[in-house]
A and B are shown apart, each in its own frame.
Chain A
Amino acid sequence: MEEVPHDCPGVGSAQAGRGASCQGCPNQGLCASGAGAAPDPAIEEIKEKMKTVKHKILVLSGKGGVGKSTFSAHLAHGLAEDENTQVALLDIDICGPSIPKIMGLEGEQFLEDNLGVMSVGFLLSSPDDAVIWRGPKKNGMIKQFLRDVDWGEVDYLIVDTPPGTSDEHLSAVQYLAAAHIDGAVIITTPQEVSLQDVRKEISFCHKVKLPVIGVVENMSGFICPKCQKETQIFPPTTGGAEVMCHDLKVPLLGKVPLDPRIGKSCDKGQSFLVEAPDSPATLAYRSIIQRIQEFCSLHQPKGENLVGS
């Protein structure tokens, strides 16, 4: 389905094959017959698979480079510090899979007994390999990750995403539709260039009815290690996440300052929470993680999805 009219109503929509812009599209017949509207059987299969997964959290941002993977990894580390909590981290950034490096994994799937990680990065034979895939192939991979990976009994499944509001995000939400996602944690940095993309991401969440657990403002101020004075490297010219959250009525989970040791820990594949336990950034992360746990325990799914409670 490469040649799609510019105003394609969407293969699943009621107008599929029937809209004015459908005339002449090679897929018109297929859409009009309703084939595109039939639900993907994988959705039910994934719902079954996800019955042993208590809480599912998506980590999103409209903007790239704000620290989604960094946050996802440290959320996983933080939760897994309790050895009775089973944590799984799924990296669906197919083109730029950062999680294996940040978690210090080279070809292994398990870090500690209670922390499992999956990423397309593990499937690539060389660090120079590029995954040059169009949308449909990326969607197929995501479906496989959700349906075919044996997640087992998991308390928290964290899904790290690439920037944007496209195939990967639609697929994650679509395939998990029947399985109840607790919500999304949205990462931003303080400046307007980030916020303008993040507002779109929040709008996306509302569109697909994905609850927003809250927003994390990353790289929020830099403390010089020499003189200890603070500078805003990424100035919050329009009030930062605080004003945005107030305007859009979503919770601000916390602000994480820039600590150069975070980047170093990620490069070495170590948990920053362990490497720098006294850093203001660690304290901020821990507070945010606690708020996420509180949200999840308040919003338990009802009925048969609840396992072992």
Chain B
Amino acid sequence: MEAAAEPGNLAGVRHIILVLSGKGGVGKSTISTELALALRHAGKKVGILDVDLCGPSIPRMLQVQGKAVHQCDSGWVPVFVDQEQSISLMSVGFLLEKPDEAVVWRGPKKNALIKQFVSDVAWGQLDYLVVDTPPGTSDEHMAVVDTLRPYSPLGALVVTTPQAVSVGDVRRELTFCKKVGLRVIGVVENMSGFVCPHCAECTNVFSRGGGEELARHAGVPFLGSVPLDPELTRSLEEGRDFIRGFPESPAFPALSCIAQKILNEAPVGLS
């Protein structure tokens, strides 16, 4: 267990938010990315720490795949995704020699890199640090919670899809949060229905209702349902700013609501 840490590289970070799910493929990286973009639009400086070592999705979502990571006196310099340097990102994706190279590591080696990502990245001054995680309740999650504990994270956004198979795993993630003393900011239900672009019929592709029921069962806030929107998927594929590009999208209100919740809970004064 880390002793009460000297502030070091996280000294300038105001608020830390983890994005978790027990289940894979529910949209953790999507929500992390969209939250970062929405916070940027609210004028905030945001960092994203991608600790999914086997499946690092975020570099591509922000169109910075293949960028190199440089060193400075304080450690690694995170990759800035824009000219204004309002969003910075660290991911194992940047450290791979080839993009298709598999990171086939057992737990201890993963833990070591995650500890480095937390303490050896020169984040500088940030309003928010969003930590995207892989699915599960294992090495990566324990490592990141333990290493961040001295910095008192704001809490966790827990993402699910509506169907029972997802909720079944995410319930366990909520137990994990309780066990490690990580506050749950709220539950987000993603892929909540699809509106056919041809006839406007809404179909519950992945069932319905699970996220809200889960939040109620666990006694945590329900932050909203984000519907399926192929434009959102496409934006992430192409590294485009969905928040700026698609304010009319059915996904936009829920994503804005999540960002607003964070801004209300953890306000940052005039920077």
**Pair B138/A135 contact, Cβ less than 8 Å:** yes
Quick check: B199 and A226 within 8 Å, CB to CB? yes
User: A101 touching B165 by the CB < 8 A rule?
Assistant: yes
Known: A63-B24, A98-B168. 7 other contacts (CB 8 A): A64-B25, A132-B180, A134-B139, A138-B138, A224-B196, A225-B201, A237-B238
Give the shortest distance, in Å, between A21 (CB) and chain B (any CB). 11
Find B102's partner among A128, A131, A192, A200 (CB 8 Å cutoff): A200
Question: Once the chains are docked, how many angstroms separate the CA of A229 from the CA of B195?
Answer: 12
Interface segment out of the listed A32-40, A143-151, A261-269: A261-269
Would B24 and A129 count as touching, CB distance under 8 A? no
Distance, CA A266 to CA B107, complexed state (A)? 31
A226 touching B196 by the CB < 8 A rule?
A: yes
User: Does B125 reach chain A (CB closer than 8 Å)?
Assistant: no
Pairwise interchain contact A267-B107, C-beta atoms closer than 8 A: no
For window 89-141 of B, CB contacts with A under 8 Å fall at 99-113, 116, 134-139, 141
Contact of A131 among B29, B105, B172, B201 (CB under 8 A): B172
Q: Which of A96, A130, A191 contacts B233 (CB 8 A)?
A: A191
| Nearest opposing residue in chain A for B217, CB measure | A128
Residue B174 is within 8 A (CB to CB) of chain A in the complex: yes
Of the listed stretches A46-54, A201-209, A299-307, name the one at the interface; the rest are far from the partner chain: A201-209
CB neighbors of A among B38-75 (8 A):
54-55, 57, 60-61
**A52-100 with Cβ < 8 A to chain B:** 62-66, 69-70, 94-96, 98
Q: Tell me how many residue pairs across A and B have CB atoms closer than 8 Å.
A: 226
* 24 CB-based A-B contacts, threshold 8 Å: A63-B55, A65-B24, A65-B25, A95-B169, A96-B23, A102-B165, A127-B168, A130-B137, A130-B176, A135-B139, A163-B54, A165-B102, A166-B104, A193-B61, A200-B103, A225-B201, A229-B196, A237-B234, A260-B206, A263-B163, A263-B206, A263-B207, A266-B164, A266-B165
Q: Does A122 contact B (CB under 8 A)?
A: no
Indicate if the CB atoms of B106 and A2 lie closer than 8 Å: no
Q: How far is the CB of B20 from chain A (nearest CB, A)?
A: 11
| A197 within 8 Å of B (CB atoms) | yes
**In this complex, which of B137, B141, B204 has the most chain A Cβ atoms within 10 angstroms of its Cβ?**
B137
One digit per residue, 1 when the CB lies within 8 angstroms of any chain B CB and 0 when it does not, for chain A 256-281 equals 00101001101100000000000000
B1-44 contact mask (Cβ, 8 Å, vs A): 1 or 0: 00000000000000000000011111001000000000000000
Report A-chain residues with C-beta under 8 Å of the C-beta of B110.
Answer: 166
Task: Tell me the minimal C-beta distance from A260 to chain B in angstroms.
Answer: 5
CB of A101 within 8 A of CB of B233, answer no
B244 within 8 A of A: no
Contact A65 B104 (CB under 8 A): no
Flag whether A199 is at the interface (Cβ < 8 A). yes
Return the 8 tightest CB-CB contacts between A and B, nearest first: A65-B25, A64-B24, A135-B107, A164-B54, A95-B136, A4-B108, A267-B164, A130-B175
A123 at the interface (CB under 8 A from B): no
Chain A binding surface SS class: loop
A96 touches B139 (CB 8 A): no
Report the minimal beta-carbon distance from B97 to chain A, rounded to whole angstroms: 12
Asked whether A4 lies within 8 Å of B194 as measured between CB atoms, the reply is no
Within 8 Å CB of A191, what residues of B?
233, 237
**What is the CB-to-nearest-CB distance from B184 to chain A, in angstroms, rounded to a whole number?**
13
Is A63 in contact with B25, judged by CB distance below 8 angstroms? yes
Cβ-defined contact, B112 with A5, below 8 A:
yes
* Contact yes or no, B101 A200, CB < 8 A: yes
What A residues does B60 contact at CB under 8 A?
Answer: 192-193, 196
Within 8 A of B (CB), among A222-271: 222, 224-227, 229, 231-235, 237-238, 258, 260, 263-264, 266-267
Size band of the interface chain B makes with A: 35 or more
Contact B101–A203 (Cβ < 8 Å): yes
Whether B199 contacts A133 by the Cβ 8 Å rule is: no
Bound complex: CA A162 to CA B26 (Å) = 14
Question: A78 CA to B199 CA in the complex, in Å?
Answer: 34
Q: A165-B102, A260-B204 are in contact. Are A101 and B138 (CB under 8 A)?
A: no
Q: Is the CB of A98 within 8 A of B104?
A: no
A200 to B104, CA, bound (A): 9
Q: Which residues of B contact A169 (CB under 8 A)?
A: 104
* Residues on the B chain within 8 Å of A3, using CB: 108, 112
CA distance in complex: A3, B109 (Å): 8
Chain A contacts for B142, CB-based, 8 A: 132, 134
A24 adjacent to chain B (CB < 8 Å): no
Residues of B within 8 A of A8 (CB): 108-109
B228 within 8 A of A: yes
Distance of A266 Cα from B24 Cα, bound (Å):
16
Asked whether B172 lies within 8 Å of A65 as measured between CB atoms, the reply is no
Given A96-B169, A128-B174, A164-B55, does the pair A199, B100 have CB atoms closer than 8 Å?
Answer: yes
